[in-house]
Amino acid sequence: MKPNHTIEAALQRKLEERKEQGLYRSLVCSDGLIDFASNDYLGFARKSILGEGSNNLHGATGSRLISGNSPEAERAEKKIASFHRTQAALIFNSGYLANIGLCSAIAGKNDTFICDELIHVSLLDGIRLSFAGRLKFKHNAIADLEKKLKKAQGNKFVMVESLYSMDGDEAPLKEMVEVCEQHKAHLIVDEAHATGVWGEQGEGLVCQLRLEEKVLARIYTFGKALGLHGAAVTGSETLRNYLINFARPFIYATALPPYTYRQIEAAYHLLPSANRQSLVELISYFIQATQSCHRFTFLKSRSQIQGIIVPGNQQAKALADHLFQKGIYAKAILSPTVPAGQERIRICLHSFNTQTEIDFLIREIENF
């Protein structure tokens, strides 16, 4: 039996136990019903308080398990699941809450997370809340991952990002899938920075590599390339139902307002026609342009996340201030966010940037 099937059976058993106890949660759309459930105490969510033409700007009035579920939410989730080629999706109010909700719910104190040393703090916070054990492996190091998997107990969950937010490099997902299958571990991939950018239509790195069936759960964040708010955990229908019942950040948070779900769905409709090629060309131009800049070390990244290593917090801040005074906003990333000696200026490239702007940026770095 494949590892993911094993964990699916365990999740389903817990759901069946909850049904037997009469505690099973499910989502209901309350449109058209007399409301005695929501938190809309003054009726503000039912009326336009922002003027004519804003009737769609109403609130959710409660969590999705009370009164906040809507056709817009379920439509958006179906669109997301279809786009990322998976069974189901569940939207959380942010990427942080999605990661906390998934990690804290899916594992217990007898299980083990095996994490890349550079995963986002939101994943680490979720792992802490799960009370599961945690082992750390060296960044993108398959041999060290395998070594740690041999030490892991209980259900084994390997946690990685597809594209890392500070170094801009991608995880070797194919090799990780092979190792996870050998050790009956479950792979979870945070696609926050790959969403919308990687893949033929922006589906992310997992879809680009055709590994959808090999990954237990993926997290897609809307606050990056989609320019919105919220995030979705994707996977099987069993996983979705399990999170509805056990993920506390989903159960107890007021839902996003319906217009936000419409924005999310609209963004997914736009993704296939987004100007990714322009971004790819700018990344290539940036990499070539930095070859002649020898004063600093640039990250070896082929993604939209680039960076200049500027050792020392004060030095990194000074370069960021210099660029700011010249009309360029590039963020200094300081230790301990990154290891001491690896402080940097993080440069995010966008499809709307120009080659002239890149030339200006590099010229001012050299002038510093």
Of 133, 50, 126, the residue nearest 92 (C-alpha)? 126
CA pair distance 333, 85, nearest whole angstrom: 35
User: In one letter, which amino acid is 27?
Assistant: L
CA pair distance 364, 368, nearest whole angstrom: 6
Catalytic residue numbers, as ranges: 39, 120, 161, 165, 190, 193, 224
Q: In sequence order, what DSSP letters do the residues of 266-282 get, joined into one string?
A: HHHHHGGGS-HHHHHHH
Q: Across-strand partners of 235?
A: 88
User: In one letter, which amino acid is 245?
Assistant: N
CB distance 145 to 176 below 8 Å: yes
CA pair distance 335, 357, nearest whole angstrom: 28
CA pair distance 231, 219, nearest whole angstrom: 7
Long-range interactions of 51-60: CB distance < 8 A, separation 24+:
56/258, 56/259, 56/262, 57/257, 57/259, 58/257, 58/258, 58/259, 59/254, 59/257, 60/254, 60/255, 60/256, 60/257, 60/258
Of 287, 272, 334, the residue nearest 309 (C-alpha)? 334
